[in-house]
Amino acid sequence: MNPFLRFKTFLILPLLALLFCSLLGGWLLWFPPPGIPPTKTVFVKKGMHLRQVSGLLHEEGIIRSRLFFVFLATALGKKAKIKAGEYEFQARMAPLEVLDVLVTGQVKRHLITIPEGYTLAQIAQLLDDQKIVERDEFLQKASSPVLLASLGLASLPAGPGATLEGYLFPETYHLYREMDPEEVIKMMVHQFKKVCGPELSGKAPLAGMSERDAVVLASIIEKETSLPEEKPVISAVFHNRLALRMPLQSDPTVIYGIKQFNGNLTKEDLLRPTPYNTYLRGGLPPGPICNPGRDSLLAALNPAPVHYLYFVSRNDGAHYFSSDLEDHNRAVWRYQKNSGKK
């Protein structure tokens, strides 16, 4: 072969190979796979390594090449920076964009509503059902002395058995799956302090109560009625009873003290000696029985100016209030067929 042609061949072949690799790399780097849906949801679990993530993205049609994605993440020094979570990828995203979403943790967020009056256990189960956090892990964190001490809740007692019952504010939160339970708890406590903190510190002393007692009473009011207009009246009944050293006789407190309550409150339950049985024990129970909303907290601090001592359900969501036992007994007979309920 002519030496000149041999030299040209020797020169051109590497150039062609370089051009091919450049085109292939550009195609893999900038052009996403065709035919994927407008959005695609992918869940990266905790502990997944880069090859597993790459394989998952390839299976879901997000990237063209697993090996190239691994090479890309490694070459950019982002191999160990991919964050776990649920991701929603838009159609036609380039591999560099996909990698950036994973590294910066742009996870899909869910609107989760914590209803007023939910207990700590109910909140934990709701979050578990929505795959936000594991139930047991949430409950463990919500009773961690170290975490409780770090939250700056002056009214929260220290010591064994203390939990955040009463301080997880009912609200709609933007949460994502497999969150750190500590992060979720801090969000809810922060909302409690933001919404209720000024009211507690400013009005609890004026109402002759400690901040803790106000939260406990608010939780009972929350469980007794869902009607905003009734909350201050319910509050007045309990304030009046406390002033007269009468037992509160609140069914929800009794229920809270019964493990595995079956939904049917019996006379035997009312005689069961638990710390939360306000038929047998005077004063407030030892802690909140749920997580109250702002209306219940305000009602606890601002009871209506009435002298009622009794109330009974009218079976329509509202209650009948009485100032004397004779009137109350007539109302019980009328509305509850002499069931003996308050």
Q: Which residues of 242-280 are buried (b: 16+ CB within 10 A; e: fewer)?
A: beeeeebbbbbbbbbbeeeeeeeeeeebbeeebebbbbe
Q: What pLDDT does 290 receive?
A: 98
pLDDT of 159 over the 90 cut: no
* Angle at 232 (CA atoms; ends 230, 236), nearest 5 degrees: 115
- Label residue 137 exposed, middle or buried (CB < 10 Å: 0-12, 13-18, 19+): middle
pLDDT in tens, 242-299: 999 999 999 999 999 998 898 899 999 999 999 999 999 999 999 999 999 999 999 9
Mean residue pLDDT of the chain comes to 88
pLDDT in tens, 75-97: 999 988 998 889 989 877 888 89
Q: What pLDDT does 55 receive?
A: 93
- Supply the CATH classification number for the domain 29-104: 3.30.1490.480
Q: What pLDDT does 260 receive?
A: 85
pLDDT in tens, 33-79: 555 556 888 999 888 999 999 999 998 888 888 898 999 899 999 98
pLDDT in tens, 187-215: 999 999 999 999 898 898 888 899 999 99
Domain ranges in the chain are 29-104, 120-308
